[in-house]
Structure formats: structure tokens, C-alpha cells
């Protein structure tokens, strides 16, 4: 158990809909990262938040947005969903934001868009 | 930009065989290098890491050495077990005040008894 929790575990929805994925980092970790894992794209970094502020951005679509709240939990919002958004979405956390830090991954949310 | 290249799987080995999974990288400066492992149905977890040239990371019998001259971080284990069956990801992270980890495509290892 990494100490990172993600809800829900599974999500089935339809094209055009909007969903929110939630992540609670390990106790004391200030950084939260979001990743998308799909069969054809592998593991793609989406976005990082550090202590409530956006810190780094990866291959995140404009239809996707995220935020980190004062209690450090984070939400990833996916809107106007398309079939190709079906994937595993992982959240990870680390104590600060140093490049040498280990990231601790949650169990993931499996999203299926029908 | 930064990139990580690792051998595509799947790799199938018999129990007690020697394992090598190759990983090479392209990055500016001196990144930190990682191997993460993903067991079926779980999230990724750190297997080992190295933060500077010639460092050797090791854990659970796995080893990898940071080779700056060949920009490589190959994963090795002398004798694999069935329980090592998983997907292995090589990754790098630049130095500096932010962490934008770049992962390789992942190599699936299947160990058969």
C-alpha cells in the first residue's frame, strides 16, 4: 500500500460526458502528479501540482483540467469525453518537487468511455 | 526533449534465468534515473533509482548502474522468480525545481516455472 488513494476505482460513462477523478496523496506529500496509461500510448505524464499550484504540464488535453485543494487532495476533470479517453488514470505523490524524489503511485482509476 | 527507450516485450524467461532489460535515455544535463515495476492490477512502485553517474541502484536482487557515457540504465537480475512477473518501466527525471518524469514504454516480463 503506497498510501495514495484514488476514487473511484472504475468508471463507465458515455461520450460527451464529464467525469471527476479524485486523488489523496500520502500524508505529508506536497506534490501530486497525474498520468494516463493506455495500451497504445504507454504511460503519459499529464500534470503536476505542488502545494496547490500547477508546477509542470505534460501531454494534457485542453478538455482536461486539474486542481489541488488546500488539504492537498487533487481532482482531475475530464470533459467532452471521447472513446480514446478510455484508459487507466494514475495519481502519484512525492514529498516535494525534486527531480531525484521517488513518486508513490495510487492504484489507478479505470475509465471506460462507451 | 527528454526520452527513454527500452526494449519492447514481452520477455519470457524460465525461473532462475538471468534477466536483462535494456534502457537508454536522451536528456540534457544529469537526470535521475529510475526503474518502476507494475504488478498485475496495481499501480507503479519504485524498484530502484540512481541519481548520479556510476551510481548503482539495487533492490530485491535487481540492479542497475547509471552509465553516463553510454546514456544507459540497464536492469539486471541474476535469478528471476515467478513472482517477478510484472511490467518494468525505465524512467528519468530532470534535475531542478520540478519533476516531469518521462517513462519508457514498459517491458512485460513473464517468468514460467
> A33, B49: Cβ pair inside 8 Å?
no
3-state SS, one letter per residue, for A39-91:
CCCEEEEEEEEECCEEEEECCCCCCEEEEECCCCCEEEEECCCCHHHCEEEEE
Average pLDDT over residues B41-70: 94
- Element (H or E) spanning A24, and its range? strand A19-24
pLDDT for B98 equals 63
> B100, A45: Cβ pair inside 8 Å?
yes
Pairing type for strands A10-13 and A109-113 reads parallel
Q: Does position B45 have pLDDT exceeding 60, yes or no?
A: yes
How many CB pairs (< 8 A) connect A and B? 69
- In this predicted model, what pLDDT tens digit does every residue of B4-26 receive, in sequence order? 999 888 999 999 999 999 999 99
Average pLDDT over residues B83-107: 86
Rounded distance, CA A10 to CA A110, Å? 5
Check CB contact of B104 with chain A, cutoff 8 Å: yes
Q: Does position B99 have pLDDT exceeding 70, yes or no?
A: no
- Percentage of residues in chain B having pLDDT higher than 90: 79
More confident residue, B78 or A1: B78
- In this predicted model, what pLDDT tens digit does every residue of B23-36 receive, in sequence order? 999 998 889 999 99
pLDDT for B97 equals 57
Nearest-by-Cβ selection for A94 from B51, B96, B99: B99
Check CB contact of B113 with chain A, cutoff 8 Å: no
Low-confidence residues of chain A: pLDDT under 50: none
pLDDT for B6 equals 94
**pLDDT-based confidence at B113, cuts 50/70/90?**
very high
Average pLDDT, whole number, for chain A? 93
Rounded distance, CA A67 to CA A18, Å? 15
Amino acid at each position: 500500500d503506497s498510501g495514495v488513494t484514488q476514487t473511484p476505482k472504475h468508471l463507465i460513462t458515455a461520450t460527451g460526458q464529464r467525469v471527476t477523478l479524485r486523488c489523496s496523496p500520502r500524508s505529508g506529500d506536497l506534490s501530486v502528479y497525474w498520468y494516463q496509461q493506455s495500451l497504445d500510448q504507454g504511460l503519459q505524464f499529464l500534470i503536476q501540482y505542488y502545494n496547490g499550484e500547477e508546477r509542470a504540464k505534460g501531454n494534457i488535453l485542453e478538455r482536461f483540467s486539474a486542481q489541488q485543494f488546500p488539504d492537498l487532495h487533487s481532482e482531475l476533470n475530464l470533459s467532452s469525453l471521447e472513446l480514446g479517453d478510455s484508459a487507466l488514470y494514475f495519481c502519484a505523490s512525492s514529498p516535494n518537487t525534486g527531480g531525484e524524489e521517488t513518486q508513490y503511485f495510487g492504484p489507478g482509476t479505470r475509465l471506460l468511455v462507451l | 526533449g527528454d526520452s527513454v527507450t527500452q526494449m519492447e516485450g514481452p520477455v519470457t524467461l524460465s525461473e532462475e534465468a538471468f534477466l536483462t532489460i535494456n534502457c537508454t535515455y536522451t536528456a540534457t544535463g544529469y537526470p535521475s534515473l529510475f526503474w518502476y515495476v507494475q504488478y498485475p492490477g496495481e499501480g507503479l512502485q519504485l524498484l530502484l533509482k540512481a541519481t548520479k553517474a556510476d551510481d548503482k541502484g539495487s533492490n530485491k536482487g535487481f540492479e542497475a548502474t547509471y552509465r553516463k557515457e553510454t546514456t544507459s540504465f540497464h536492469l539486471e537480475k541474476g535469478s528471476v522468480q515467478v513472482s517477478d512477473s510484472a511490467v518494468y518501466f525505465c524512467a528519468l527525471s530532470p534535475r531542478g525545481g520540478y519533476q516531469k518524469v518521462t517513462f519508457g514504454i514498459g517491458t512485460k516480463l513473464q517468468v514460467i516455472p
